[in-house]
Amino acid sequence: MQKAMNAKSCFTGLLMVLLAACQSSFPPADQRQPGAARFESFYYEGADFSGAPAADEYRNPILAGFYPDPSITRAGDDYYLVNSTFSWFPGIPVFKSRDLVSWTQIGNVIDREGMLDFKTLGVSRGVFAPTIEYHDGVFYVANTCVDCGGNFIVTATDPAGPWSDPVWLPEIGGIDPSLFFDDDGAVYLMNNDAPPGAAKYDGHRAIWIREIDPQTFQSLEEPIVLIDGGVRPEEKPIWIEGPHIYKVGGAYYLSAAEGGTAVNHSQVVLRADNVLGPYEPYDGNPILTQRDLPPDRKDAVTSVGHADLVNTGEGGWQAVFLGVRPYEGDYYNTGRETFLLPVEWRDGWPVILSRGEPAPLKAKRPALAAGATPPVPMSGDFSVTEDFDKDDLAPYWLSLRGPADEWLEIEDGALVLTAQRDGLGDVGYPAFLVRRQQHLNALAETVLSFDPQAVDEEAGLAVFQNDDYFYAMGVTLDESGQRIVQLRRRAGSEMGSDGEVLASAPLAGEAGAPVRLRIRARRDVYDFDYAQEGGAWTSLKKGADGKILSTHVAGGFVGAVFGVYAE
């Protein structure tokens, strides 16, 4: 999954009817394969933003959709960024940029079977909060595989890959490992773990540090606590995590997230004369939060935190961090996204946002030369068409819990999926290839040729949050053997893994005749449409409840995805 897809821009306005130039034609009869789920194309568009940014501005988020827990590093004039992917494969996308605004995905860290094992995990387990560092020609990613091995480090001389097999750190518990390379050659690892002694309250955690061997990454010294609880222990702060250390002007700055990853999320900073402390917290903490702002404000960005800072030199210090864009209260379906803001130094302390200042959706560009236009847009309003005319998939495509090699082929300009016994709700390894929903107002469309042979065979288009919460619109057979299109919904673990059928309609024409499928997201509702060869769009279900696909309802740490499946 290394080659970038060919994007065709045909976006004409807020979720308008697709232009003919962007619509996929039906395949010729001699290319239809009975028994195979053949997807001829995949089209995505999204429109959430009003007013184009000025020439000296950029749009936030810089990575729209499910790109949480950003970490950034600089290598010469280039910047590299990674994100969490949990149990999706390939894991940990790697992005490259020259200007911190235009980002191109160049690969994935976890990109081959055997590196990590996700196969028995829930969607929101697996790889949490990776951190990336560059030192002396080598890139390092430190990470935790939750319920699948613990903490590890991988390395690469080319961030596009390949990356090494994981070096496991069995003596280091907790999550969120992060590396710091000091000027004297010493290497330190920080992580979140249980506090010394018994926890005093739920969410009581600590940040630890230890020196490690720069070659084997094993501990050289016993760990030391840097932060116990948080910057104001008397307030019983929760979930101190995501630590980073920066050396500036001879002083060491320790920055970490606090308050949990929901609406009380924040970023705090401390300073010391020695890398091992003691660290003094900044009186003005937190240096980033939105928890004090009115929840009903316009264009709200909430839950900000988990920041990582980078010194650009001429462009000043900048920070990447996660945030969410709710459509109502704490409801959002697009997951935690990556934002960028400048860092202001005040009396020797870095500040990302003043208290009470809203996170902007537009900001001044860093003073860096404009980067190349990415082949696939990652920010703002855009549309993308995938024609499957290359041998490899673009690196943003994902499958659940493992590679797609067993059930996917690219053949004659189409995706061909072999149905698997595991379905979308089975917490297994389904034939399910997805891309992120990157806008609250979005649309996904595909053309499917599929000739089901039994009532339990189905292929189609889905919007999916996790195994318990999804909609699936597929072609199958009814009890009489009639080919139909039907919409299923699963809204909670109490339902069977297949969910419930909300709507269905008979399909005319020969067996395996192509059907166009379309899902439209309108913030908190979704519309499901289909069209047969030469026919107009027909509504199968309009205004279905989209809140079941929100993190608020479905739980976990991911965002919704659109994808094609065969089961």
- What is the DSSP annotation of 94-128? EEEESSSSS-EEEEEEE-STTS---TT--TT-EEE
**What would the pLDDT profile of 49-71 be if each residue is shown by its tens digit?**
988 899 999 999 999 999 999 99
Closest CA to 417 of 14, 35, 32, 162: 35
The CA–CA distances, whole Å, from 354 to 230, 267, 269, 287, 351 equal: 19, 12, 14, 7, 7
Mean pLDDT of 390-412: 95
Which residues are catalytic, by number? 69, 241
Supply 556's token pair: 């976990």
Percent of the chain with pLDDT over 70: 94
Supply 28's token pair: 């010729």
Start-end of CATH 2.60.120.200 domains in the chain: 20-48+381-566
Mean pLDDT of 140-149: 98
- pLDDT at position 187 is 98
CATH of domain 57-364: 2.115.10.20
pLDDT of 122 over the 70 cut = yes
pLDDT of 13 over the 90 cut = no
The CA–CA distances, whole Å, from 378 to 64, 302, 310 equal: 6, 20, 21
| pLDDT, averaged across the chain | 93
Q: Are 317 and 343 in contact (CB under 8 A)?
A: yes
pLDDT confidence bin for 36, thresholds 50/70/90: confident
Distance between CA atoms of residues 268 and 240, nearest Å:
9
Mean pLDDT of 281-296: 96
- pLDDT at position 50 is 84
**Helix or strand run (H / E) with residue 553:** helix 551-554
Supply 470's token pair: 């999804």
pLDDT of 444 over the 50 cut = yes
pLDDT of 250 over the 90 cut = yes
Helices marked H in 253-344: none
pLDDT of 86 over the 50 cut = yes
**What would the pLDDT profile of 423-441 be if each residue is shown by its tens digit?**
999 999 999 999 999 999 9
- pLDDT at position 35 is 57
Buried b (16+ CB within 10 A) or exposed e, 106-130: bbbbbbeeebbebeebbbbbbbbbb
Closest CA to 432 of 445, 442, 444, 421: 421
Start-end of CATH 2.115.10.20 domains in the chain: 57-364
CATH fold of the domain at 20-48+381-566: Jelly Rolls (2.60.120)
How many other CB atoms sit within 10 Å of the CB of residue 21?
8
Distance between CA atoms of residues 438 and 399, nearest Å:
17
pLDDT of 143 over the 90 cut = yes
Distance between CA atoms of residues 512 and 510, nearest Å:
6
Instruction: Find the Cα–Cα–Cα–Cα dihedral 305, 309, 315, 316, rounded to 10°.
Output: 100
pLDDT confidence bin for 315, thresholds 50/70/90: confident
- Residues with Cβ within 8 Å of 440's Cβ and at least 6 positions away in sequence, in order, are 48, 325, 327, 332, 333, 334, 521, 523
